[in-house]
Amino acid sequence: MPASIITKRQLGLLFITAGVMVIAGVLIFDLLRHHEFGGAYQWAAIAGGGLLSVLGATLLPLGDDPL
Amino acid sequence: MTRTLTRILIGAALLLMIGHLIVYGVYALSLARFPFDYDQGEGFELNDTVLLSQGQSPYRANEVYPFYASNYPPLYHVLLIPFVWLFGPAYWYGRLFGFAATLIAAAAIGFAVQRETRVRSISVLAGLAFLASNYIYHIGPLFRQHMTMVMFETLAIVVIATYDGTSNRNNRRKLWIGLLLLLAAGFTKQLAIVTVAAFFIFVFLRNPRCAIRCAIGFGTIAGMLFLLLNISTAGQWWLNIITANVNQYLVGQFIGLARQFFGLHGALFILAVLYALYELYFMRLSAYTLWFGLATVDAVLAGKWGAGDSYFATMIAAMCILAGVLSARLYSGTLTFPKNYITRAVSRIRFSPDLLKRLAPLAALAFVLYGLSVIHLPLDGAGFGALAQLLNLKSNTKFPNFYDSAGWTMGYATIGQLPSEADTTNGWRIVALAAADDRPILSEEAAFSFQAKKPVISNPTQLLNLYQNGHYDPAELVAMIKKQAFGAVIFRARFYPTPVLEAVDAAYQPIATIPMNGYDYTILLPRSPVP
């Protein structure tokens, strides 16, 4: 069987990167557009990004297990 | 003791699901007999089928008479062409086709669970759970392409799920069949794009080189078909299929639907998420988990104007498979936990098959809870009246004879009741008013044009979407309205561009309001003299 080139650690890194980008994107977009941060949707997006990053972090120890 | 309890709960869940199946069957047969639009837009899908059966394109310029274009790909309508040739324009075959598509999808779900687990009772339960959903019940037996797309999507994923990446005849056959089903899904409705993504990611994880080759081949064929359609329709394909579907996003609509979805499907959704997490930490990801994950993200599109509960249908199919597989594996004690940092951290708990089997009743209970959460029932006729009395169910919808546990939220279609004799009679009253004049009619639903043997003029929501996005100039239609070129105008929700509504109000006067299926249809005749 051909081995997967994607591992669980790599997926973890992808999730962490995506989560951080979501958080950074919301902050930057909101500050540039409104010059302040706030709002339920913004907080929800940040919480989602944080959750994705945490999920990614828990995958890192799984190492080279194939996805 | 645990096994007996699980069996009792599975039996109870099966009884509930069979009850839902009976309601679904009665609803489907009832709709098949109803000769008018039951859900707004059905008649336009029939019109697409009729146009294609006559060798005409449904992707045409909206700005010239008859101001009509389709906003869906053609496969569902193409499949129904023989019925138009045999029986003429009618709703029953498209509705029964949609109903059959849901039954096939349910059978595929059951088959998938059976193949993974060999626990027949839970496999049947998983398939029936799909049909029991209020959302599937709603849209299954309609003259709509959505459930045919879901059927093709489900079949494609079930076919590819056992692909292991090796290059042999069996795997090549799975790839070919899967790709054909994907192509069929995509050319039935654009929303299938998420299943295409899940399919290729899965193949990529098993055999990256093969996935890239297949993606290039698939992309080339799908792209060429797309291009061919766009060139042959002078760009109308792109305008009507893509541009017209870029609508305003309503966050409130999505939040309402998401809450409603979780209230109805939460028990099975939790099981599906647990199984997806199990695969993420202890196994390789299956095609079903990838599909479930992407379809869950895609369900966010339910907040688009004009979208709604049907956008959860693909995710519900994937959810039923995962919930079924987890329940069956708990029941048969075949969940395994390879050693990793998680099992080491909780090493004091032994993951023995016996311990996991003790959780099996909880999974079966989730199916019972789901069966109770999704109750939807006509309150009279065919024994339903007595059952409703027994369960003390009263109407909570706009229809006096229909109970729907879903309640209502923005984007949730207010349908599900059985059409009454009065609805049919009133439909014919509207047709009589529309047919009294030789001129064509401008109707918000196509059924009245079909039944009055008149051409179908305009696809209102399509015109409205394009107008709101600055891609439609209603001048020619407005000019015809001002000249009273239409013998009658029929409104249901006034989903036309504002200049069209203003022109109608100036040149036509309401002469009757007739209720049908819970909606008031306003019939307007030309004012005399022309203002």
Of A4, A8, A65, the CB nearest to B206: A4
pLDDT band at A32 (very low <50, low <70, confident <90, very high): confident
User: Residues of chain A whose C-beta is under 8 A from some C-beta in B?
Assistant: 1-2, 4-6, 8, 41, 58-59, 61-62, 65-67
| CA of A55 vs chain B CAs: smallest distance (Å) | 10
| A67 neighbourhood in chain B, CB within 8 Å | 205, 284-285
| B281 neighbourhood in chain A, CB within 8 Å | 58-59, 62
Question: What is the distance between the alpha carbons of residues B18 and B34, in angstroms, rounded to a whole number?
Answer: 25
| φ, ψ for residue B404, nearest 5 deg | -135, 115
pLDDT band at A31 (very low <50, low <70, confident <90, very high): confident
| B165 neighbourhood in chain A, CB within 8 Å | 1-2
pLDDT of residue B474: 97
- Nearest chain A residue to B202 by CA distance is A67
Strand B508-516, strand B519-526: pairing:
antiparallel
Report how far apart, in Å, the C-alpha atoms of B288 and of each of B148, B162, B343 are.
19, 10, 24
| Exposed / middle / buried, residue A64 (Cβ in 10 Å: 0-12, 13-18, 19+) | exposed
Residue ranges of the alpha helices (H) in B140-298? 146-160, 169-186, 193-206, 208-232, 236-241, 251-282, 287-298
What is the CB neighbour count within 10 angstroms for residue B333? 14
Of B205, B280, B340, the CB nearest to A4: B205
Question: What is the distance between the alpha carbons of residues B157 and B178, in angstroms, rounded to a whole number?
Answer: 7
Residues in chain B: 531
Task: State whether A2 and B165 contact (CB < 8 Å).
Answer: yes
Written as one string, the DSSP assignment of B238-258 is HHHHTGGG---B-HHHHHHHH
Question: What is the distance between the alpha carbons of residues A61 and A56, in angstroms, rounded to a whole number?
Answer: 10
Residue B3 falls in which region: left (phi positive, over 0), alpha (psi -120 to 50) or beta: alpha
What is the CB neighbour count within 10 angstroms for residue B530? 10
| B341 neighbourhood in chain A, CB within 8 Å | 61-62
Written as one string, the DSSP assignment of B403-441 is EETT---TTS-S--SPPPHHHHHHHHHHHHHHHTSSS-E
Task: State whether B205 and A66 contact (CB < 8 Å).
Answer: yes
Q: What residues of chain B score a pLDDT lower than 70? A: 348-354, 382, 529-531
Q: Chains A, B: CB contacts under 8 A, how many?
A: 33
pLDDT of residue B528: 82
Of A6, A62, A66, the CB nearest to B281: A62
Of B164, B284, B340, the CB nearest to A67: B284
- Nearest chain B residue to A3 by CA distance is B206
The angle at the Cα of B135, spanning B367 to B492, to the nearest 5 degrees, equals 160
Query: Long-range CB contacts (< 8 A, 24+ apart) of B251-254?
Result: B251/A41, B251/B303, B252/B303, B252/B410, B253/B302, B253/B303, B253/B305, B253/B307, B253/B308, B253/B409, B253/B410, B253/B411, B254/B300, B254/B302, B254/B303, B254/B411
| A6 neighbourhood in chain B, CB within 8 Å | 204-205
Mutate to test the interface with A, among B284, B290, B337 (most CBs of A within 10 A): B284
ipTM value > 0.85: yes
Task: State whether A2 and B280 contact (CB < 8 Å).
Answer: no
Cα B531 to its chain centre, rounded Å, is 44
| B289 neighbourhood in chain A, CB within 8 Å | none
Query: Long-range CB contacts (< 8 A, 24+ apart) of B405-410?
Result: B405/B134, B405/B264, B405/B373, B405/B374, B405/B375, B405/B376, B406/B134, B406/B260, B406/B263, B406/B264, B406/B374, B406/B376, B407/B260, B409/B253, B409/B256, B409/B257, B409/B259, B409/B260, B410/B250, B410/B252, B410/B253, B410/B256, B410/B257
Q: Is A51 helix (H, G, I), strand (E, B) or coil?
A: helix
Of B164, B209, B280, the CB nearest to A1: B164
Rounded to 10 degrees, the C-alpha dihedral B456/B458/B461/B466 comes to 150
One-letter amino acid for residue B280 of the chain: L
Strand B488-491, strand B519-526: pairing:
antiparallel
pTM of the model: 0.94
Of A8, A41, A58, the CB nearest to B251: A41
Task: State whether A2 and B207 contact (CB < 8 Å).
Answer: yes
